[in-house]
Amino acid sequence: MKKVVNLFSTVALSLCFLCACGGNSATTSGGDGSVKSGSGNESSENATPEVKQADADSKLNADIVYWSSYTESSNYGQSIKAAADAFMKENPGVKISISFQGTDISSTLTPALQAGNNITMFEANSDNVVRLWKDYLMDLGEFYEKTYPQTGGKSYADSILPAYENLAKTQGDGKYVYFPYTPQFLNVWYNKDIFEECGITEKPKTWDEMMEVCATLKKNGYTPFTSDQNHIDYNLSLYLERLLGAEGTNELANGDGSAWDNPEVLKAVKKFEDAASKGYWAENIMTVVTPEAQQEMVLDKKIAMYVCGSWMPNNVRESAGDDFRWGSFTYPLVENGADDGSSLCYGCYGIAINKNATAEEAEACAAFATYLTLGEWGDYMVKNCNAIPITNDPNVKWPKMIADAEHIYDGITNRWPAHGHMRTNGDFLPVFQSACTKLYGGKMTAEEFIAECKAYFK
């Protein structure tokens, strides 16, 4: 039976598709400035920032309870904990207790807030922050106007990437309700060495060019694409976004089913059926899961491309090693498409402050959010987690692993949901993913694909 879902909603399970998250909860607090590396060691290039002596002039005075959607053992969790320890040492009037909820936060935070539990600030994917907890969000406008030691004399709003300053305000319906960090986007990742070996020197800009790349890869003994059951929808979903634009794709996911009768949609699916018939997906595409598919790409080095999020290279960095060369390009344009390449699926994590926090608590929370995401500790998180900087400081470089995607925001004037419109209907998503699996595996025709998707809405 059809379920009606808000256009801008992102299903709660979307958290599990983001980088380095897990489902276990842990609570920790500290104050000694110590840190454990997520991998057990740190290079001198990525050493934790020097912890400064306590600031005698610091007027911050608050006990903060911070709920995080990361796990304590993840690189992100370790970075947050280390920054909190350093912040407390520099601001002795502040105590930060962190509860690492992992992906469970999408189900645990709401009842905790409803029960009036002492939770001062919390963080998760920004789509979930504004959807699940909108009734608990403080208006952060005054903090966006302030300067901090990490903003170099500029206001906070003028210190972050414009796309995410605008996103935060848009998602808050004109108000700033979270501090953005760890930007993320969907794109096509590829193995540079394979492309070069096959003589592919230009990144494909259109679907037809990408199919030519696939043909060249196949001719040279490589598998063009793989995916996994968690991300298998991304490839076709992005094609449909390019073809129909936001309104048309949303109608496919959240309409009455009639949008699936559009002959252009059938033509699009037929292109994927044709690609499957040519062997452009991995032979195990119908059964491979996360992280096996990603591991196969970096270990076997026989698979060239993967449509996924900006977090993927970090997820397999230990398996890939330092010599794996990641390339990146935005999803190509499609014939007769409504989108001209100015749109991108992107999002971020957001740190929110409970609207019931006192003025003193809010002041300390805002100072810590800025401390964590900008300046030395923001740079540390970028390096330690292979994350995208939220700062607009040109001196802060993207990690080498994902640097090929650094210009992905150039020319982007329109934002699609972080994981695409197909994921804004959590009940329909499994139907769409199952159909994609069978289509890519050569076990379903385009007509059968349309029929299966449309049947959900009856």
Predicted confidence at residue 374, as pLDDT, reads 97
Q: E strands within 77-170?
A: 94-100, 121-125
Q: What pLDDT is attached to residue 31? A: 36
Identify the DSSP state of 52: P
Would you say how long the chain is, in residues? 458
Tell me which residue has tokens 């909190």.
Answer: 84
Write down the pTM of the prediction.
0.83
The predicted pLDDT at position 390 comes to 97
Phi-psi domain of 324 (left: phi exceeds 0; alpha: psi -120 through 50; beta: other): beta
Architecture of the domain delimited by 186-344+410-455? 3-Layer(aba) Sandwich (3.40)
Which residue in 195, 189, 187, 193 sits closest to 324, CA to CA? Answer: 193
Cite the beta strand spans of 42-197 per DSSP E: 62-68, 94-100, 121-125, 179-191
Question: In the prediction, which pLDDT does 46 show?
Answer: 66
What was the pLDDT predicted at 32?
31
Per-domain residue ranges of the chain: 12-184+347-405, 186-344+410-455
DSSP-based three-state secondary structure for 259:
helix
> Average pLDDT of each block of 10 consecutive residues along the chain (458 residues)?
36 38 43 35 65 78 96 93 96 97 93 97 94 96 97 97 93 97 96 98 98 98 96 98 98 98 98 98 96 96 97 92 96 97 96 98 98 96 93 92 93 92 94 98 98 96
Same fold, 12-184+347-405 and 186-344+410-455: yes
- What pLDDT score was predicted for residue 227? 98
* Number of other CB atoms surrounding residue 14 within 10 Å: 24
122, β-bridge pairs: 67, 352
CA distances from 393 to 98, 110, 112, 159, 280 (A): 29, 35, 37, 7, 41
DSSP secondary structure code for residue 387 in this structure: P
pLDDT value for 24: 45
Q: How far is CA 322 from CA 108, 298, 401, 402, in A?
A: 38, 11, 8, 12
CATH assignment of 12-184+347-405, among 3.40.190.10, 3.30.360.10, 3.40.1000.10, 1.20.120.530: 3.40.190.10
- So what's the pLDDT on residue 35? 35
